[in-house]
Structure 1
Amino acid sequence: MTQVFSGDGLLARAMRSSALTVASFGSSQVLRLASNLILARLLFPEAFGIMAIVSVIIQGLMQFSDVGVSPAIMQSKRGDDPDFLNTAWTIQMMRGIGLWLAACALAWPVAQIYDAPLLLQLLPVAGLSLLITGFNPTRLDSAKRHLRFGRVTAIDFAVQIAGILAAVGLAWWLQSVWALVISGLISALVGLVLYWVFLPGPGNRVRWEKPAAQELVNFGKWIFLSTICGFLFNQADKLILGKYLSFSVFGVYNIGFFLASFPMLLGNMLTWRLLIPIYRELPPGESPENFAKLRRMRFAVTLALLALVAIFALLGVWLIGVMYDDRYEMADAVVVMMAVMQIPQIVVMTYDQASLAAGDSRRFFILTLAKAVLMITALILGLEWGGLMGALISYGVAMLFAYPVVVWLARRMRAWDPLHDASMALVGLGIGGLAVWVNLDAVANLARASGW
């Protein structure tokens, strides 16, 4: 068994990276859960609701301006060229400065839209994290390119510890949402210092090489559009529900979403970190052997994620009852329904990166655009039809309608595996049905509260 993890081949690096990613994710989520439990008692639901809006805006700015520097470094033939890396870092640094200015400019209109004057102060301060991370070295992307995650994992863990300690200490002292904003800045600063000091490789400097810039722009123009759509797909629930619901109910939703999102977060982390290098070195259309290796990987990843979904879907009501007080009523049913409705996305999530690995960012954009349009449409219709319960159901419905586009992309990359999709869909259907049956009382309560 140890031979699989040793050596410098693709399989060994992928296995080590997978193990480190899972271990890092598991430990970080345990810490995140512990800090969330403490913060839920030090703060009130309204604080989580307001912070959710701040987080959505900050993430939106990052994604609305993403020019694909990281995936470009991971897939480009010049990904180890110092001139290419320094040009990429210069673009990233300029982007960070622009993002902070954009956060300041958006503070007033966002505060007006959500009728929350405090956002006028919170957003410019929270936006400083975008300025800070713009100076992160490209050594971080180089480590991802070569599937070397040892030091990256250790640094990320240290950054999370620093952020949690800061958040808990500040929440105890300030009793305010400011604790969450300031702790985010502390995390960004700690990460910047540790990445520069402890990651191996040459440092970055300001550089503008025209061929490198052209390659980054040509690849990144579709990534830019894709990340806008990806933001709308991933954050549409918070943008729309934050307007429809009170901050108190919205805070309850976010507590439930926090638990239910564990499998999806792990899946996104695994696929983003591993699949571009794996698809790059094992193109599925190149040989039956490559396709067979990718099939085994796909089954292993999907089964592991569905097992996690089963845990949260079946035990969501019990987990909320044990961990939270009655201020977070209805969060139990949110956990169950959100976990179940993520199953369609988990079944097909190993296809997206195939096009990026082949340098085809245009098809990746088309897929993310389709998913964003379907998700926004489904959420609005679901809310109008069935309140919060309707919105939760619409999450899964949107992914079912997006499946033909996923198949289109996967077939173009010769990566589509109908055997995997059909068998995993049956497993997911069984998990979802059992979870709703076991937690029927909680689900029925949420349905009644949603006006059913």
Structure 2
Amino acid sequence: MSASINARSWWTIGGYAVSTGIRFLTSVVLSHLLAPDILGVVVIAQAIRTGAELLTDMGMEQNVIHSPHGDEERFLNTVWTLQLLRGAGIAMVSVFAAYAVSRFYHVETAVLIAISAAPFLNSLASTSVFSLARHFEIKSKNLFELSVELIGFGINIALVLWLHDVWAPILGILGTIALRSAASYALPHQRHRLCVDRAFGRMIFGFSKWVMLSSLMLFGAVYADRLLIGHIASLAVLGIYGLARALSDVPSALASRLAMQILFPVVARDRIAADPLVRIELARARRNVLLLFLFGIATVMAWSDWVVDLLYDPRYRQAGWILFVLLASSWIAVLAWLGEATMFGQGKPRSVSFANVIRLLVMAAVLPLGYALFGLPGAVIALPASELARYGVLRIAQRKLPNSFVGQDAAFTLGFLLVLAAWLAIRAGAGFGVPWAGMSPM
């Protein structure tokens, strides 16, 4: 079991490392070829697209993984049909809302109408990707995602070199989503047909209501900062902030993938099988994952200004100090994602939803107040505060569960602070100053 969990973990980490490399290359090229205000428009478009999907998230993959009927053709076709109906509905609502949103953010209406097609294109995908996760086919799933992202990278770069305007990244997003949906049918899958089984539908909605609430709060916490800054600051500032946020989201996104592809299925299966050895294997897998994040986040955090200067166009230099602050929230988010996987695996999505509600409330309270008092630095502080609130709620909810790992989290957090302090001392001793030296209200 240990070798199996670790092998899957390393496939997920390796796959995500390559995926992150592709995204980094894309962002570096975009920063050199496109102005910050154009990237600001892309941030708005991406936030609205993601929000539209998360606000109606039915947790289809979680349903397929969690349900004992997850391999049955009728169940999978019910999932596929509901997915199509949801995607079409989101796309239509997004089109109708495009004009009002464009006026609010002062962006071109046609851009938002175009990005409205993304949810429907995404809904056309086969359920085969969900089945890969259910059966721990981590290698196949990661190779599939990487192949799509690699081709998507080529599409994005070709469009930027051709168009040199905001339509390049927008069409790149749509093209990559369409490619992924089409390619999913090349994977092994049950024969798809339109079908809504009432019993399975009730089962899906019964589990999904908490996933939907959790996703609603997740969207608010993840994108509230972008949407607020996009309204009260210039699109150029939003473009700089969005670049830093994209970099800081890498550890959290990897933790999310590890948690939902590895820990969640293992905990869910153990809840049924009651294998006493699983906790030991989970502790070992968590330890290896946390070691990776500990050194990675602390190191990049200590040299965040150098990372931005090295990779990006000078117009984005202010992203350095922003990245330093946001990476503090990334460490807390890593711990929180591991906690969420445990709660989902134990069949307790309600606690995850409540944790994300609290995170959103803290974000909504701290961010505008911080911005009013201290400008952008005050707003950025809201992210570590909200992640800490989320983690605290999850920690309380897990106190009676067998797989809480509170001691492990505390030990690795101490190690993270010590590594960060050591790097900062090295910087100071070498006369390189501090990574937050360029902090300004902007």
Same fold (TM over 0.5): yes
Whether the 8 Å CA contact 1:348–1:421 is kept in 2: the answer is no
Task: Give, in whole Å, the separation in 1 of the partners of 2:31 and 2:213.
Answer: 36
Greater displacement, 428-437 / 255-264:
428-437
2:50 maps to 1:87? no
Identical pairs, percent: 23
Match of 2:105 in 1: 114
Residues 235-290 of structure 1, C-alpha deviations (whole Å, 9 max, x = no match): 12212222222111111112222222222221111112112211112349957643
2:117 maps to 1:128? yes
Task: Give, in whole Å, the separation in 2 of the partners of 1:108 and 1:433.
Answer: 49
Match of 1:53 in 2: 44
2:9 maps to 1:18? yes
Whether the 8 Å CA contact 1:100–1:124 is kept in 2: the answer is no
Match of 1:180 among 164, 169, 181: 169
Task: Give the letter aligned to residue 444 of structure 1.
Answer: A
Task: Give the letter aligned to residue 123 of structure 1.
Answer: L
TM normalised by structure 1 equals 0.91
Task: Give the letter aligned to residue 57 of structure 2.
Answer: D
Q: CA deviation at 1:216?
A: 0.4
| 1:309-348 pair list within 5 angstroms | 309-348=297-336
Match of 2:438 in 1: 445
2:92 maps to 1:104? no
Q: CA deviation at 1:420?
A: 1.0
Task: Give, in whole Å, the separation in 1 of the partners of 2:183 and 2:89.
Answer: 24
Match of 1:221 in 2: 209
Task: Give, in whole Å, the separation in 2 of the partners of 1:151 and 1:15.
Answer: 16
Match of 1:252 in 2: 240
Whether the 8 Å CA contact 1:35–1:164 is kept in 2: the answer is yes
Task: Give, in whole Å, the separation in 1 of the partners of 2:272 and 2:325.
Answer: 35
Match of 1:157 among 146, 155, 158: 146
Match of 2:253 among 265, 271, 275: 265
Residue 306 to residue 442, structure 1, CA distance change in 2 (3 Å): closer
Task: Give the letter aligned to residue 131 of structure 1.
Answer: F
Q: CA deviation at 1:434?
A: 4.7
Task: Give, in whole Å, the separation in 1 of the partners of 2:149 and 2:318.
Answer: 29
Task: Give the letter aligned to residue 260 of structure 1.
Answer: S
Greater displacement, 219-228 / 255-264:
255-264
Unaligned stretches of 5+ in structure 1?
A: 1-9
Task: Give, in whole Å, the separation in 2 of the partners of 1:262 and 1:440.
Answer: 25
Q: CA deviation at 1:432?
A: 4.3
Greater displacement, 313-322 / 338-347:
338-347
Task: Give, in whole Å, the separation in 2 of the partners of 1:219 and 1:250.
Answer: 36
Greater displacement, 210-219 / 106-115:
106-115
Structure 1 residue matching 2:352: 3-state secondary structure: helix
Task: Give, in whole Å, the separation in 1 of the partners of 2:285 and 2:345.
Answer: 16
Whether the 8 Å CA contact 1:257–1:335 is kept in 2: the answer is yes
Match of 1:233 among 209, 217, 221: 221
Q: CA deviation at 1:436?
A: 5.7
Residue 419 to residue 167, structure 1, CA distance change in 2 (3 Å): same
Residues 367-420 of structure 1, C-alpha deviations (whole Å, 9 max, x = no match): 221222122222222222222212222211223333431112212433222211
Match of 1:36 in 2: 27
Q: CA deviation at 1:206?
A: 0.6
Structure 2 residue matching 1:65: 3-state secondary structure: coil
Structure 2 residue matching 1:416: 3-state secondary structure: coil
Task: Give, in whole Å, the separation in 2 of the partners of 1:300 and 1:420.
Answer: 11
Q: How many residues are aligned here?
A: 437
TM normalised by structure 2 equals 0.93
Match of 1:5 in 2: none
Task: Give the letter aligned to residue 145 of structure 1.
Answer: R
Match of 2:156 in 1: 167
Whether the 8 Å CA contact 1:68–1:224 is kept in 2: the answer is yes
Q: CA deviation at 1:317?
A: 1.6
Task: Give, in whole Å, the separation in 2 of the partners of 1:101 and 1:17.
Answer: 39
Task: Give, in whole Å, the separation in 1 of the partners of 2:200 and 2:225.
Answer: 37
Whether the 8 Å CA contact 2:102–2:112 is kept in 1: the answer is no
Task: Give, in whole Å, the separation in 1 of the partners of 2:28 and 2:79.
Answer: 39
**RMSD, aligned α-carbons:** 2.1
Residue 389 to residue 436, structure 1, CA distance change in 2 (3 Å): farther
Q: CA deviation at 1:328?
A: 1.1
